[in-house]
């Protein structure tokens, strides 16, 4: 079915299998969806506390066309997912497709499942599609997918997507981000006392 599709990936609970080329993630998700009959515009967003991952890993994932959404906290994925799904449905009427790649216990969005009755297709998955297959990737594919990637930082309250992995790196090392991160950690620590 040709319709817009958005994939939300919990980068913490569904990691790329060891030994796989991280640059294959975006093309393999696209191929997986194509094999299931889904076509049309596609966005893939990795959600999580991205500073927990090595820079090289994030750069390779980003270069595969996967956008980065820096969220915070133990429940970063869950707390961010509903907002992203709501935003997606405001911008895309049915039929449209939403794929959520997350450990099942962390995907509890009742809102997402209610969307099925209004014409959206919801595809939960507790694993990342196979990324070992060499047919998923070539240099042309990487170049085409990396142009669509963006990043967002929920820690700093950013709502507008930004472009460029170097800009992402600069942001997470900026004074503004470090200040916002310390404020959030202090708030979370105070709330648990």
Convert the pLDDT of each residue in 1-54 to its tens digit.
789 999 999 998 888 888 888 888 999 899 899 999 999 999 999 998 888 899
Residues contacting 182, CB < 8 A, separation 6+: none
Helix (H) or strand (E) holding 101: strand 97-101
| Domain housing 23 | 5-192
* pTM for the structure as a whole: 0.80
Task: Tell me the pLDDT band of 145, cut-offs 50, 70 and 90.
Answer: very low
Angstrom distance (rounded) from CA 171 to CA 178: 9
At 108 the pLDDT is 58
- Mean per-residue pLDDT, 121-146: 62
At 109 the pLDDT is 61
Task: Tell me the pLDDT band of 147, cut-offs 50, 70 and 90.
Answer: low
Question: Which of these, 186, 145, 168, 180, lies nearest to 55 by C-alpha position?
Answer: 168
Query: Starting at the edge strand that comes first in sequence, how are the strands of the sheet with 121-125 ordered?
Result: 121-125, 97-101, 5-10, 42-48, 66-70, 151-153
69-90 residue pLDDT tens: 988 766 677 778 888 888 899 9
Q: Is the pLDDT of residue 144 over 90?
A: no
Residues contacting 43, CB < 8 A, separation 6+: 5, 6, 7, 67, 148
Distances (CA, A) of 30 to 84, 99, 161, 176: 20, 11, 21, 35
41 phi and psi angles, rounded to 5 deg: -60, 140
Structural domains of the chain, count: 1
CA-CA-CA-CA torsion for 13, 18, 20, 22, nearest 10 degrees?
Answer: 50
Q: Are 28 and 43 in contact (CB under 8 A)?
A: no
Angstrom distance (rounded) from CA 24 to CA 6: 18
């Amino acid at each position: 079915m040709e319709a817009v599709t958005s994939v939300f990936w919990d980068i913490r609970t569904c990691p790329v299998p060891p030994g796989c080329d991280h640059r294959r993630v975006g093309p393999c998700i696209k191929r997986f969806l194509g094999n299931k009959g889904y076509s049309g515009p596609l966005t893939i967003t990795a959600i999580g506390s991205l500073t927990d991952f090595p820079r090289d890993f994030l750069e390779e994932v980003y270069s595969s066309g996967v956008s980065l959404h820096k969220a915070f906290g133990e429940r970063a994925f869950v707390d961010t997912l509903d907002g992203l799904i709501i935003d997606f449905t405001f911008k895309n009427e049915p039929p449209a497709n939403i794929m959520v790649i997350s450990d099942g216990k962390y995907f509890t969005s009742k809102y997402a499942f209610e969307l099925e009755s209004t014409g959206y297709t919801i595809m939960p998955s507790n694993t990342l599609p196979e990324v070992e297959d060499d047919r998923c990737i070539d240099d042309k594919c990487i170049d085409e997918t990396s142009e669509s990637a963006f990043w967002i930082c929920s820690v700093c309250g950013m709502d507008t997507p930004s472009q460029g992995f170097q800009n992402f790196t600069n942001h997470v090392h900026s004074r503004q981000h470090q200040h916002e991160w310390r404020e959030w950690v202090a708030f979370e620590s105070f709330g648990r006392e």
